[in-house]
Amino acid sequence: MLNVLKNRFEQGCKTSKYPKENVQLLPRYRGRPEINPDAPAEVASACAAGCPQEAIDAAAKTIDMGRCVFCGTCERIGKGQFVTFTQDFAISVAEKEHLITAGDLPDLAAHSRQHFKKLFGRSLQLRQVSAAGCNACEADLNVLATPFFDLARFGINFVASPRHADGIVVTGPISRNMKTALLQTFEATPEPRVVIAVGSCTLTGGPFRGSPEVSEGLDAILPVDLFIPGCPPHPMSNLHALLTFFK
């Protein structure tokens, strides 16, 4: 016991003070993209042509964060003249059409369902469903339970059974073989229930978009309340989304 207390005293508090204090991510982190509307048309077209996800509309000068995997190819091709990635991790939206942006996103708190805040503001239990994910999004959700993030201090926990959950968090491109399991998990979750889509694969199919073996997006199967883009979304994006939408 004395050794435990000694180690605790030496290590100090490891938990982030977010949201009371903002967290500064590393410079290499790619967050919310910004589009330069004054960029030359040829640069915009080159960025759109080089995007592996076809996420850029050169004519409208917008980027679809639902398709984007934040690889930075467009920024490199255009040398930052057309697309630049900020360090802003607050990139979640409540409506899928808001993912198509020139850089500005609506206030997530203003678009959250107030009855969700009333029901789940003090306690939110979630069941995570990996629908053929690569484990990247899953890993960055799991890390929320570590001492630095300590998701439980906000009354939010991941549970083993959908029957004990208030909603589901879905990751992966939702393969044909996982669709039935996903629907059964959704149906086993008691109403009122929340559906959260995490990661580009879940939002639009990601790199597998267009394959007959995966869905075109979770919203084509279930009503989605919260969209968290990224490949994978940073843990801070997940934490910000959950706190802003439900607290």
Identify the band that residue 212 occupies on the pLDDT scale cut at 50, 70 and 90. Answer: very high
151-177 mean pLDDT:
96
DSSP annotation of 205: -
With a pLDDT cut of 70, the percent of the chain lying above it is 98
Instruction: List the beta bridge partners of residue 214.
Output: 175
Q: Which of 238, 225, 233 is nearest to 65 (CA)?
A: 233
- Answer yes or no: is pLDDT of 8 > 70: no
Residue 12: which H helix or E strand, with range?
none
Residue located via tokens 């850089």: 103
CATH of domain 109-246: 3.40.50.12280
Identify the band that residue 114 occupies on the pLDDT scale cut at 50, 70 and 90. Answer: confident
DSSP annotation of 238: H
- Answer yes or no: is pLDDT of 132 > 80: yes
Predicted pLDDT of residue 117: 77
**Residue ranges of the domains in the chain?**
33-88, 109-246
Residue located via tokens 């982030």: 16
The first and second tokens of residue 201, run together, are 């694969």
CA atoms of 216 and 137, how far apart (whole Å) = 18
Identify the band that residue 32 occupies on the pLDDT scale cut at 50, 70 and 90. Answer: very high
Write out pLDDT tens, residues 50-86: 999 999 999 999 999 999 999 999 999 999 999 999 9
DSSP annotation of 67: T
Strand duo 167-171 + 124-130: pairing: parallel
- Answer yes or no: is pLDDT of 5 > 90: no
Write out pLDDT tens, residues 222-236: 999 999 999 999 999
Residue type, 165: A
104-117 mean pLDDT:
82
**Which residues have a Cβ under 8 Å from the Cβ of 230 and sit 6 or more positions away?**
70, 91, 137, 198, 199, 200, 237
Peptide bond into 40 cis (omega under 30): no
Identify the band that residue 137 occupies on the pLDDT scale cut at 50, 70 and 90. Answer: very high
- Report whether 98 contacts 228 (CB < 8 A): no
Q: What is the mean pLDDT of the chain?
A: 93
Sign of torsion over alpha carbons 59, 216, 201, 124? positive
Its pTM stands at 0.93
Predicted pLDDT of residue 73: 97
